[in-house]
Chains A and B, each alone.
Chain A
Amino acid sequence: MKILGSEITPYKTYLNRRKFIKGSLASAMLATVTSSAFANHDSDLSIYTKNLNENDKLNSYEEITTYNNFYEFGTHKKHPHLNSGNFKPRPWTIKIDGLVKKPQTFDLEKILSNVTIEDRVYRLRCVEAWSMVIPWQGFQLSELIKMAEPLSSAKYVQFVTVFRPEEMPGQQKRTIIWPYREGLRMDEAMNPLTILATGLYGHEMPNQNGAPIRLVVPWKYGFKSIKSIVEIRFLDTQPETSWETLAPWEYGFYANVNPNVNHPRWSQGTERRIGEFKRRETLMFNGYEKEVAHLYKDLDLTKFY
């Protein structure tokens, strides 16, 4: 299964491509007024599609950026797109604390200069039974974890989203307990599939999708892939996570995509791929079974859902 962006784009090339995109956007706007505002990304999609599974098709930039859940900007799936205009993702820092050699705060630019940005085309499966295929740009979380130097006693990683109710109108209402928190077991966090994404379709991460930096864990339901991260904590016990705290009978800590484990609200056996008419079967671990099934071989997945 071709799912990994095995072709690595060095960060410099990535920046150059971004410049090129900006340039072509300007000329495209001069050339034609009628062309959609969403068509401003790299028009050569082969860099993404060559890593695509034959059953998958990329979702459009418009689909990815106008329909998603990010309760910080409102509970409807159009709200992130409509309400995220005032969010300021720069400058940005990430605080590293908990069981590490030395707690510290990293400047995002400093992190980015130490990592390799790659293209990763992943399926995203929402717990609400819809899915997309998204070309992310990012780097392996394991790279940042190495920079953070966790102690051997660290067994879990917790992530925290920024809390800025003045820029994130959804946070003015207590729909969930802010700030949003998520977590992974250390081996899940170190898995090569787990990335911190800083862009999609060659753009800097749009505000509505979790600017400037978010987690992407493609074999878990979308709510695990926490957005706009400001803090990463290393812990020896399983951390509390937002949705699990709100409704533990519905959302578990693991939240692995699993068509065999029922959800009280949505059947997880099938899903609607955005852009398609008929539902399709949901795959175990969202189709990443080969890469991650070994992490759970001793775990009863019906109990630890």
Chain B
Amino acid sequence: MFSTRNFNRSKPVLFILILFPSLLWAYQFVTGNLGVNPIEKLMDELGLMALRLIIITLMITTLSNIKPLKSIVVLRRMIGLFAFFYVCLHFSTYIVLDHFLDMKFIIQDIIKRPFITFGFISFLFLIPLASTSTNNMIKRLGFKLWKKIHYLIYPVAILASMHFYVLVRADKTEPVIYMGIIILLLLHRIFKRLTRPQLAQ
């Protein structure tokens, strides 16, 4: 049931499911159905979607440790690239719709406001991840180097959740839940590494 083939087969459906919200929000935005403050709403929805997808990619790695679910890892690249897609939409909403390409203001904003700094660095770290997400790139870089680059997903996830945490004014429950999940997933990886039988050097 959880064969590589079946996971691969589910990809087109998954693709449409994950793409759908962006199309819906774009449609609602254009038709004026995103509420009283549509730009803020669009930015919030896109950002939250991106954060959730980043967390899902981390979960996939953890799940793939369970023997019968080993093959789930074939979904990781697509979901990771979708996370990047939503981050790009989130960031361009901020730059184009929210600040109308006022670059002087935007640069000041990124430097001065910690939550924007966190979000921006997280976005920068995602760029090498996304651009090396092809089989060809893995071959060219070699698996070892490729894997090292992709460790960047950890600072990406932590910074993205901090970006959300600092933004929230009073009730931090939701960002704390996301941070908690990320920390648990990271702890699991550390634990695994520590208990793994040492390889002969």
Also in contact, A274 and B171, with CB within 8 A (given A262-B112, A265-B113): no
Complex alpha-carbon distance, A71 and B168, angstroms? 13
Whether a CB of chain A sits under 8 angstroms from the CB of B99 is: yes
Whether a CB of chain B sits under 8 angstroms from the CB of A111 is: no
Complex alpha-carbon distance, A265 and B113, angstroms? 6
Within 8 A of A (CB), among B32-55: 35-37, 39-40
Whether a CB of chain B sits under 8 angstroms from the CB of A272 is: yes
How many residue pairs, one in A and one in B, have C-beta atoms under 8 Å apart? Answer: 51
Which residues from A are CB-within-8-Å of B166? 265
* A75→B100 contact, CB < 8 A: no
* B114→A264 contact, CB < 8 A: yes
* B170→A130 contact, CB < 8 A: no
A272's partner among B37, B108, B109, B169 (CB-CB below 8 A) is: B37
* A278→B100 contact, CB < 8 A: yes
* A272→B39 contact, CB < 8 A: yes
Contact with B along A39-74 (1 / 0, CB 8 A): 000000000000000000000001100110001000
Also in contact, A66 and B171, with CB within 8 A (given A265-B115, A267-B105, A278-B100): no
Whether a CB of chain A sits under 8 angstroms from the CB of B176 is: no
B35's partner among A67, A130, A173, A267 (CB-CB below 8 A) is: A67
Shortest distance between the CB of B117 and any CB in chain A (Å): 11
Whether a CB of chain A sits under 8 angstroms from the CB of B26 is: no
The residue in chain A whose Cβ has the minimal distance to the Cβ of B108 is A267
Whether a CB of chain B sits under 8 angstroms from the CB of A29 is: no
Whether a CB of chain B sits under 8 angstroms from the CB of A147 is: no
Which residues from B are CB-within-8-Å of A267? 105, 108-109, 112-113
Whether a CB of chain A sits under 8 angstroms from the CB of B167 is: yes
* A274→B115 contact, CB < 8 A: no
* B171→A75 contact, CB < 8 A: yes
Shortest distance between the CB of A181 and any CB in chain B (Å): 15
* A176→B170 contact, CB < 8 A: yes
Count of chain B residues with a beta carbon within 8 Å of a chain A beta carbon: 21
A265's partner among B40, B99, B167 (CB-CB below 8 A) is: B167
Shortest distance between the CB of B165 and any CB in chain A (Å): 12
The residue in chain B whose Cβ has the minimal distance to the Cβ of A81 is B36
Also in contact, A274 and B113, with CB within 8 A (given A75-B170, A175-B170): no
Which residues from B are CB-within-8-Å of A275? 36
* B37→A130 contact, CB < 8 A: yes
Also in contact, A279 and B100, with CB within 8 A (given A78-B35, A130-B40, A274-B36): yes
Also in contact, A274 and B37, with CB within 8 A (given A264-B113, A279-B99): yes
Complex alpha-carbon distance, A246 and B99, angstroms? 29
Contact with A along B71-111 (1 / 0, CB 8 A): 00000000000000000000000000011100001001100
Also in contact, A66 and B100, with CB within 8 A (given A75-B171, A262-B112, A264-B113): no
Which residues from B are CB-within-8-Å of A175? 170-171
Complex alpha-carbon distance, A176 and B171, angstroms? 8
Which residues from A are CB-within-8-Å of B36? 62-63, 66-67, 77, 274-275
Which residues from A are CB-within-8-Å of B112? 262, 264, 267
* A71→B40 contact, CB < 8 A: no
The residue in chain A whose Cβ has the minimal distance to the Cβ of B100 is A278
* B170→A67 contact, CB < 8 A: no
Complex alpha-carbon distance, A266 and B40, angstroms? 13
Which residues from A are CB-within-8-Å of B37? 67, 77, 130, 272, 274
Which residues from A are CB-within-8-Å of B99? 279
Shortest distance between the CB of A42 and any CB in chain B (Å): 21
Complex alpha-carbon distance, A152 and B114, angstroms? 45
Task: Select the residue from B35, B36, B100, B114 with max chain A CB neighbours within 10 A.
Answer: B36
Which residues from A are CB-within-8-Å of B115? 265
Complex alpha-carbon distance, A71 and B169, angstroms? 11
Which residues from A are CB-within-8-Å of B171? 75, 173, 175
Which residues from B are CB-within-8-Å of A278? 100
Which residues from B are CB-within-8-Å of A266? 113
Closest 10 CB pairs of A and B: A67-B36, A175-B170, A75-B171, A175-B171, A63-B36, A274-B36, A176-B170, A75-B170, A267-B109, A278-B100
Query: Could you name 12 residue pairs across A and B whose Cβ atoms are closer than 8 Å?
Result: A75-B169, A75-B170, A77-B36, A78-B35, A130-B40, A176-B170, A267-B105, A267-B109, A267-B113, A274-B36, A277-B39, A279-B98
7 further A-B contacts with Cβ under 8 Å, apart from A66-B36, A266-B113, A279-B99, are A63-B36, A75-B170, A264-B114, A265-B166, A267-B105, A272-B40, A278-B100
